[in-house]
A and B are shown apart, each in its own frame.
Chain A
């Protein structure tokens, strides 16, 4: 396979890492990560506005993983935990970097890429309008997802969303999303 999960994770874990996790993305895991980060951010005396932004970005990106990762990936030969995902949070100078990773089926890539490219092309005001439009017009899915997560992440971070799709096999790619806060 062209994409090596182990190498990817090792590479990602270099740098000033505050938290690194690979495994099942469950509700409990999300609670644990949020709690750990809150404590860490308080310890480092990070500015409260930045703390809130990081926390918000984390909530949304983790809950995106939670809502969108399939419990089992058919056709992936590696021994993966159900609802497998990766999350790494790093400190970079005055800012923070949140990276999430998960397997996505080939058929979903086009939609995802178009959505992120669209979000990245918008100005601050256009993003606000997009958020309000989706908020007001789109129904929540039965699982509670609303189509707002990426838009909200982009608004809160104030930066472009960085992403990459790594080819894993015929059916799956690995989707890497990096958010600079």
Chain B
């Protein structure tokens, strides 16, 4: 599989997907009006990756904001990861949140309670 790198825009995050290293990163802001279009390629890649994933995949999510439209798509991404995890491949999810951003921490906890993968909550201290 080819690695993917999508640059961030004012409304969408950067996406890095390195299948050879087993690293997935989503960073920035996710506030497009219609997030389906934006997240579909990532969900599709994950389906392909899921057929032959590395033994361990690291997922780093560092979002400043995400709108409710994105929140559903992000859940779809997590569900694909959950399927990989179920097939006995390790997934490590690092959920980054800025110091004092309780809303973002809570968002990570919401996802963790829905998805059967352990999350690591990482506070970013300036």
What is A's interface to B at a CB cutoff of 8 Å?
Answer: 27, 30-31, 34-35, 48-49, 52-53, 55-56, 59-60, 63, 66-67, 128, 131-132, 135-136, 138, 140, 143-146, 148-149, 152, 156
Contacts of A156 in B (CB 8 A): 103
Whether B33 lies near A66 (C-beta < 8 A) is: yes
Question: Please, how many angstroms separate the alpha-carbon atoms of A143 and B65 in the complex?
Answer: 20
Chain B residues within 8 Å of chain A by Cβ, number: 26
Least distance between B53 CB and chain A CB atoms (Å)? 24
A148-B71 in contact given A31-B10, A31-B11 (Cβ < 8 Å): yes
A146-B71 in contact given A30-B33, A63-B33 (Cβ < 8 Å): yes
Q: Which of B17-75 contact A (CB under 8 A)?
A: 31-36, 64-65, 67-69, 71-73, 75
Choose among B33, B68, B69, B114 the residue that contacts A27 (Cβ–Cβ < 8 A).
B33
A49-B102 in contact given A31-B10, A135-B110, A136-B75 (Cβ < 8 Å): yes
**24 contacting pairs across A/B (C-beta < 8 A):** A30-B33, A31-B11, A34-B31, A52-B65, A59-B31, A59-B65, A59-B67, A60-B67, A63-B33, A63-B67, A63-B68, A63-B69, A67-B33, A128-B106, A135-B114, A140-B36, A140-B69, A144-B69, A146-B68, A146-B69, A148-B72, A149-B68, A152-B71, A156-B103
Question: Please, how many angstroms separate the alpha-carbon atoms of A113 and B67 in the complex?
Answer: 23
